[in-house]
Amino acid sequence: MSRLSSWLTSPWATVTGLVAGGALGALLPSAGTALAPFGTLYLSLMQMCVIPLIITAITASIARLMLGDSAAALPRLAMVFVCGLVSTAVIAMLAGLVIAPGAELGQDQRVFLAHEMLRQEATSSAAPGPSLWTLAQMIVPSNVIRAAADGQMLALLLFSVLLGMGLGKISAAQGAQAIGVLDAFYNALVKVMGWILYGLPFGLFAMMADHTAHGGVEMFLMLGRLIATFYGLAALLIGGMTLVISSRTGQRPLTVLARLREAMLTAFGTSSSVATLPTALKAVEDGLGLGRQTAQMVLPLGVSLYPVGNVLHVVVSSLFVLQLYGLPLDLEAATVLMVGGILVACAMTGAPGIASMALLSVLLSPFGVPAEVAIVLLVALEPVLDPVLTVLNVFGNITAAAVMAPRPSHPPLTAETALLTRR
Amino acid sequence: MFRSAANRWWRTIATALTLLFMPGLATAADPSVSPDIARIQERGKLVVAAYKADMPPFFYVDDHGDPGGIDVDLATDIANRLGVRLEYARIADSFDDLPALVAQRKADVAIAYLSRTLRRAAVVRFTQPYVRLRQTIMVNRTKTAPLFRGGERVEALDDPGVRIGVEDGSSYVDFATERFPKAELRRYRSNEDAVDDLLNGQLHAVIVDEAFSFSLNHPLPGAPHYRVRDDWALYVKVIPLSGARDPIAMAVHRDDQTWLAWLDTYIADRQEDGSLERLLERHLGGSRK
Question: A380: exposed, middle or buried (C-beta count within 10 Å: 0-12, 13-18, 19+)?
Answer: buried
- Do B267 and B127 touch, CB atoms closer than 8 A? yes
Set of chain B residues whose Cβ sits within 8 Å of the Cβ of A107: 230-231
Q: What is the pLDDT along chain B (289 residues), one digit of tens a residue?
A: 333 444 445 554 544 444 444 444 444 457 888 999 999 999 999 999 988 888 888 988 888 888 889 999 999 999 999 999 999 988 888 888 899 999 999 999 999 999 999 999 999 999 999 999 888 999 999 888 888 876 778 888 999 999 999 999 888 898 899 899 999 999 999 899 999 999 999 999 999 988 888 888 887 788 888 888 888 988 998 888 887 788 999 999 999 999 999 999 999 999 999 999 999 988 887 655 4
> Phi then psi for B277, rounded to 5 degrees?
-60, -40
pLDDT (0 to 100) of residue B20: 44
pLDDT (0 to 100) of residue B103: 94
The SS3 call for residue B139 is strand
pLDDT (0 to 100) of residue A371: 74
- The alpha carbon of residue B167 is apart from the nearest alpha carbon of chain A, in Å, by 24
Domain membership of residue A73 as a residue range: 2-422
What is d(CA B57, CA B215) in angstroms, rounded to the nearest whole number? 7
User: Domain total for chain A?
Assistant: 1
**Does A130 contact B at CB distance below 8 Å?**
yes
pLDDT range class, residue A94, cuts 50, 70, 90: very high
Q: Does A129 sit within 8 Å of B153, measured CB to CB? A: yes
pLDDT range class, residue A25, cuts 50, 70, 90: confident
pLDDT (0 to 100) of residue A197: 84
pLDDT at residue A255 tops 80: yes
**CA-closest candidate to residue A275, choices A15, A46, A48, A17:** A46
pLDDT (0 to 100) of residue A407: 66
Q: Pick A368's closest partner by Cβ from B146, B230, B233.
A: B146
**Does A324 contact B at CB distance below 8 Å?**
yes
What is d(CA B89, CA B75) in angstroms, rounded to the nearest whole number? 12
CB under 8 A, 24+ apart: contacts of A330-333: A333/A367
Give the CA angle between residues B84, B89, B91 to the nearest 5°.
Answer: 175
**Does B153 contact A at CB distance below 8 Å?**
yes
Mean pLDDT, residues A14-32: 86
pLDDT (0 to 100) of residue A83: 95
Q: Pick A365's closest partner by Cβ from B145, B234, B239.
A: B145
What is d(CA A3, CA A273) in angstroms, rounded to the nearest whole number? 29
The SS3 call for residue B248 is strand
**Does B146 contact A at CB distance below 8 Å?**
yes
Q: Pick B148's closest partner by Cβ from A115, A128, A365.
A: A365
Instruction: Give Cα B225 to chain centroid, integer Å.
Output: 17
So what's the ipTM on this one?
0.70
Set of chain B residues whose Cβ sits within 8 Å of the Cβ of A361: 149-150
**CA-closest candidate to residue A370, choices A356, A353, A388, A358:** A358
How many A/B residue pairs have CB atoms within 8 Å?
73
- Provide the CB-side half-sphere exposure for A158 (13 A, CA): 17
What is d(CA A183, CA A69) in angstroms, rounded to the nearest whole number? 19
Q: Which residues contact B83 (CB under 8 A, 6 or more apart)?
A: B18, B21, B22, B25, B27, B41
Bridge partner list, B238:
B138
Q: How far is CA B187 from CA B50, B163, B165, B207, in A?
A: 21, 10, 6, 11
pLDDT at residue A2 tops 90: no
How many C-beta neighbours within 10 Å does residue A6 have? Answer: 10
Mean pLDDT, residues A269-281: 88
Question: What residue spans of A49-171 are helical by DSSP H?
Answer: 50-67, 73-99, 107-123, 132-139, 144-149, 153-169
**Does B81 contact A at CB distance below 8 Å?**
no
CB under 8 A, 24+ apart: contacts of A122-130: A124/A354, A126/B151, A126/B152, A126/B239, A127/A354, A127/A358, A127/A361, A127/A372, A127/B150, A127/B151, A127/B152, A128/A358, A128/B151, A129/B149, A129/B150, A129/B151, A129/B153, A130/A355, A130/A358, A130/A359, A130/A361, A130/A362, A130/B150, A130/B151
SS (H, E, C) A93-104: HHHHHHHCCCCC
Question: A125: exposed, middle or buried (C-beta count within 10 Å: 0-12, 13-18, 19+)?
Answer: exposed
pLDDT (0 to 100) of residue B3: 38
Least confident of A143-152, A183-192, B56-65: A143-152
Cis peptide before A29 (omega within 30 of 0): no
Most trustworthy range by pLDDT among A218-232, A353-367, B186-200: B186-200
Set of chain A residues whose Cβ sits within 8 Å of the Cβ of B145: 364-371
Q: Which domains, from first to last, does chain B contain? A: 8-130+249-284 (3.40.190.10), 133-246 (3.40.190.10)
- Do A120 and A106 touch, CB atoms closer than 8 A? no
Set of chain B residues whose Cβ sits within 8 Å of the Cβ of A128: 151
Average model confidence (pLDDT) for chain A? Answer: 84
Percent of chain A residues past pLDDT 70, beyond the cut: 90
pLDDT (0 to 100) of residue A85: 95
Least confident of A94-108, A254-268, B16-30, B85-99: B16-30
For the domain that residue A200 is a member of, what is the CATH number? 1.10.3860.10
pLDDT at residue A362 tops 80: no
What is d(CA A140, CA B106) in angstroms, rounded to the nearest whole number? 70
Percent of chain A residues past pLDDT 90, beyond the cut: 24
**CA-closest candidate to residue B260, choices B58, B141, B124, B117:** B124
pLDDT (0 to 100) of residue A127: 52
pLDDT (0 to 100) of residue A385: 86
What is d(CA A96, CA A316) in angstroms, rounded to the nearest whole number? 6
Question: A45: exposed, middle or buried (C-beta count within 10 Å: 0-12, 13-18, 19+)?
Answer: middle
pLDDT single digits (tens) A156-168? 889 999 999 999 8
Mean pLDDT, residues A65-81: 85
Q: Does B239 sit within 8 Å of A358, measured CB to CB? A: no
Set of chain A residues whose Cβ sits within 8 Å of the Cβ of B214: none
**Does A321 contact B at CB distance below 8 Å?**
no
For residue A127, give the chain B residue with the closest CA: B151
Question: A309: exposed, middle or buried (C-beta count within 10 Å: 0-12, 13-18, 19+)?
Answer: buried
pLDDT at residue A354 tops 60: no
- Do A391 and B171 touch, CB atoms closer than 8 A? no
Set of chain A residues whose Cβ sits within 8 Å of the Cβ of B233: 114-115, 117-118
